[in-house]
Amino acid sequence: VAQVFLNDFLNVEKELDPKESANVLTIWGVGIAASVILAGYWFDRIYKTNKTRLPIFAGVTTLIAPWLVLYIVQSQPLSATVYAVILVPAGFLAGFAGIIVKTLLMNVTIPETRGSAFAIQSLVDELGKGFGPYVVSRVIVAAGSRTNGITISILMWIPCGLIMLLIARYLEADVQKTEEEIKKYYAARQLENGTIENIENQPSL
């Protein structure tokens, strides 16, 4: 929504110059980039301390971020500076969930299926980027205005945040089960290798 519709929305509905609206979207991207940079340092420590804090953190930030964007969508036209000041923390908060999803996915999949899991995740992500704008455009038409359509689309972040909070309930059990599966796999491999070595070491007749 932000990348495809917000630039033109600020230009037309909020009466910003094209250059100003583009700069505001750049500031939004800076906020997201800052969260991505800090995520690697923060999340490693958080995960080691308490695994369930990660999905809770993702859920809370995902629930907070849309209200800042909604304020811009629903407010009367403001200056580009005000929009930029609001969108920096909004982008910062919005950037965490995607990184956390990848971190959690890494820790709840066994090595044999991890590649497939990330491939599916990437496929769904790309489908969202491609198919999402079409869905939002249909919502805008059905809602009767871009303001209403974008508002409805941004509110879809709320169920996303609630799902992230729900993940916290099952994360510990899923991680534990994954670790047990990995231990069983490597134990079987070691047993297999040991059997092969014993056969190879048998004296020839």
- pLDDT category, 121, cuts 50, 70, 90? confident
| Whether the Cβ atoms of residue 56 and residue 118 lie closer than 8 Å to each other | no
Residue 69: which of 5, 125, 119 has the closest Cα? 5
Residue 32: which of 88, 102, 100, 104 has the closest Cα? 88
Give me the pLDDT at residue 197, please.
47
Cβ neighbours around 108 below 10 Å, total: 18
Give me the pLDDT at residue 62, please.
92
pLDDT reading at 59 higher than 50:
yes
**pTM metric for this prediction:** 0.81
pLDDT reading at 19 higher than 80:
yes
- DSSP string of 4-16, one letter each residue: IIIHHHHHHTS--
Query: When comparing pLDDT for 48 and 168, which is higher?
Result: 168
pLDDT reading at 193 higher than 80:
no
Phi, psi of 156 (to 5 degrees): -70, -15
Distance of CA 97 to the CA centre of its chain: 4
Mean pLDDT of the chain: 84
Average pLDDT of span 60-78: 90
| Whether the Cβ atoms of residue 1 and residue 25 lie closer than 8 Å to each other | no
